[in-house]
Amino acid sequence: MNEASRPLPRPTPDTQRYWEGCKRHELWLPFCLRCEHFFFYPRVFCPRCFSWEIEWRQSSGRGTLYTYAIQYRPQGPGFQPPYVTAIVQLEEGPRMMTNLIDIEPDPEKIRCDMPVEIVFQDMSDEITLPMARPAGSAK
Amino acid sequence: MSLKNKVALVGVDESDQIGICEGKTALMLHAEAARNALRDAGLDKSDVDGLFTAGPSVMQLAEYLGIKPSYMDSTSVGGSSFVIEVEHAAAAIEAGLCSVALITHGEMGYSARRGMASRGGGPGRFFDPEMPMMQFEMPYGVGGPPSVYSMACMRHMHEYGTKHEQLAEIAVATRKWAQLNPKAFMRDPLTIDDVLSSRWIAYPFHLLDCCLVTDAGGACVVVGAERARSLKKKPVWVLGSGEATTHGSMLNNPDLTQTPARYSGKRAFEMAGLTHKDIDVVEVYDSFTYTALVTIEELGFCKKGEGGPFLSNQRTAPGGDFPMNTNGGGLSYTHPGMYGMFLIIEAVRQVRGECGERQVPNAKTALVNGTGGSLSSTGTLILGVD
């Protein structure tokens, strides 16, 4: 992939702490202190109980592959098909969109519910993106 | 209070051409479809006091058409918008806020892709960099509908064992209907093998699991019961309706194997007081083969997860016992980007008995289900004739 030119997020006041965490190669998630659950994507309130009592907690970065697709048409600049888009089920509860990396884009090799772990790729001075790879596939 | 039998669809039609509309704009398609649907109803533009659309703002459309409505609605929730707007029109008419509701659509999907026209509104996607979808999905190369519906389909295949061949059955059956519809864009014979050997767009979707991208306009006219009985054609009553949304982007779909049709469908059946066995013909959104499959499950026509076997063996094709998408669908007839209006047009024609070669014998009731966004919004209508 041409990592430099893919569309990058513009952090907003409600998501800044998430992106700051990514920059440190840490996954931080908002947690609602009233109904006691993690949620994603970040907001300044809990989308379930509408409480504004939120704190940030670090995720283990462990999860499973909820679903995926192999993209054969680039959905923007900076993507070289085929590439794998994935929704990861984090063990804390929320799901996040990401790319599945360090695996061939081959349905024989990729299975829903396989264990994955979050790793980080620095995309620019400002933005680091969390990615998923098969658990235990450390290089 | 229920909207059952309070309003009827009294006029429907497409724009003068659909498919490739060279030399047209999206607004011209709105206007052509409006004229044609009003003509079908036996009404004049001067009768219209309620205006509904998705794509452009309704105020832009009102100005363009030269209408000063007392009720306006530009609900823009993707391809389901027009189906949902029928329910909104029913509520507005029942409340006395308007009496003749005109709903129009026009979109230059085919031409816009080739730089020959602008699309005309459409299901406005992701271009605000502060929006959650732009921050949390697009950086991963997630964008157009194939890139996200494919992920929903994959989870369904994983949980329920749904097969590529079962999806292909839908594409093939739908093409058979298109072969009976002179207005359909794709009318060549199609086999399961053709579908399975077409190139990958976004695994698990082959090219032929995906809908067309055409130019097309459509419109429908809704009036109250008394007015409907005074018009020339058989009124097509709104027996039941429902709308729902459960999420915006696919990531936030609470369960990727579901759609909001489970809610909108339930409301529509409850209002109509009908059961699935009472429905003669089904027109459901088929942006992808999978969209139709999951919608049939979510509407409760079969058990959850059994859509694959339920729709197999060409059961939905002409002559089958579950006639579905009888115009040839978004897969083979037309799909300009938002498809919901064309579901309504075909359902009305079927229960009126106007469908010629593709007419489902003795069709008296039809179910319409529009889907918008990333399986995000649905509108369900149950329609019937006296």
B130–A contact, CB cutoff 8 A: yes
pLDDT (0 to 100) of residue B1: 67
pTM of the model: 0.97
pLDDT (0 to 100) of residue A5: 81
**Window from A15-24, B62-71, B124-133, B250-259 with minimum mean pLDDT:** B124-133
CA distance B215 to chain A (A): 22
Find the helix packing angle between B261-272 and B289-298, rounded to 10°: 50
- Longest CA span, chain B: 56
Chain A residues close to B201, C-beta within 8 Å: 72-73
Q: What is the ipTM of this complex?
A: 0.95
pLDDT by residue for chain A (139 residues), tens only, comes to 444 588 899 999 999 999 999 999 999 999 999 999 999 999 999 999 999 999 999 999 999 999 999 999 988 888 999 999 999 999 999 999 999 999 999 999 999 999 999 999 999 999 999 999 999 876 5
Q: How far apart are CA B192 and CA B321, in angstroms?
A: 20
Q: Residue B147 and residue A75: Cβ atoms within 8 Å?
A: yes
Whether residue B84 has pLDDT greater than 70: yes
A66–B contact, CB cutoff 8 A: yes
Chain B residues close to A75, C-beta within 8 Å: 138, 141-144, 147
Q: State the number of CA atoms in the 13 A half-sphere of B62 facing the CB.
A: 17
Note the residue count of chain B.
386
C-beta of residue B53 within 8 angstroms of C-beta of residue B105: yes
- pLDDT single digits (tens) B74-83: 999 999 999 9
Q: Which of B86, B39, B93, B42 is nearest to B69 (CA)?
A: B93
pLDDT (0 to 100) of residue A2: 44
